[in-house]
C-alpha cells in the first residue's frame, strides 16, 4: 500500500497583510505609550530632586545641632574637617548628584534664609521652566 497524498493541509503561516496589521498596531501603541512614559520619568526626576533637597536640608540641620554652626560645604556632611563636635557622617554615602547629574548648589549665608540649596534642573542653568526649572529649599521657582 502506498501513502495517499490527495488531501494535504497547508501549514499555518501569516500573510503579509496580517503582518502589516500587527506592525501597525505595535507602532500605534508605541506612539501612545512612549510620551506617557517619558512624562512619568520627568515627573519622577522632579520628585526625586525635591526629596533629595529635603534630606540634604535635614542633614544640614543635624550638623548644625551637633557642631553649632552650618557646614561650609556639603562635603562637611560626609567628612570631618577637623571639628571636635562633629558627630557624622550625616549622609550615608557621598553627597548625591541631582537627578540630571548636576551638583546641588549650597550657599551660606543664603539669600532666602540661613542657607540656600538649589538644583538647576535639566538645563543645569539658573531659571527655566518645566523639567529645566530650578528647585530649591525655599520654593519651586518656575514650576507650573
Q: Which domains does the chain have, with CATH numbers?
A: 19-136 (3.30.700.10)
Confirm whether pTM is higher than 0.85: no
Please write the tens of the pLDDT for every residue from 29-64: 888 888 888 778 888 999 999 999 999 999 999 999
Give every residue of the chain whose pLDDT is below 70, as ranges. 1-12, 140-144
Which residue from 136, 116, 101 is spatially nearest to 70, judged by alpha carbons? 116
Q: Where are the beta strands (DSSP E) in the chain?
A: 105-107, 116-119, 135-136
Query: What pLDDT is stored for residue 143 in this prediction?
Result: 40
HSE on the CB side for 77, CA within 13 Å? 20
Q: How far apart are CA 49 and CA 137, in angstroms?
A: 10
Query: What pLDDT is stored for residue 38 in this prediction?
Result: 79
Query: What pLDDT is stored for residue 144 in this prediction?
Result: 35
Instruction: With beta carbons less than 8 A apart as the criterion, state whether 106 and 117 touch.
Output: yes
Amino acid at each position: 500500500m502506498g501513502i495517499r497524498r490527495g488531501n494535504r493541509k497547508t501549514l499555518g503561516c501569516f500573510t503579509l497583510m496580517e503582518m502589516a496589521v500587527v506592525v501597525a498596531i505595535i507602532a500605534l501603541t508605541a506612539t501612545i505609550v512612549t510620551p506617557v512614559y517619558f512624562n512619568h520619568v520627568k515627573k519622577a526626576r522632579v520628585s526625586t530632586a525635591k526629596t533629595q533637597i529635603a534630606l540634604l536640608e535635614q542633614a544640614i540641620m543635624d550638623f548644625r545641632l551637633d557642631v553649632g554652626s552650618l557646614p561650609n560645604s556639603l562635603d562637611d556632611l560626609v567628612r570631618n574637617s577637623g571639628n571636635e563636635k562633629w558627630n557624622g557622617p550625616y549622609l550615608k554615602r557621598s553627597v548625591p548628584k541631582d537627578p540630571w547629574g548636576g551638583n546641588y548648589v549650597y550657599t551660606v549665608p543664603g539669600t532666602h534664609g540661613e542657607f540656600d540649596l538649589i538644583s538647576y534642573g535639566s538645563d543645569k542653568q539658573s531659571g527655566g521652566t518645566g523639567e529645566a526649572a530650578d528647585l530649591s529649599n525655599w520654593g519651586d521657582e518656575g514650576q507650573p
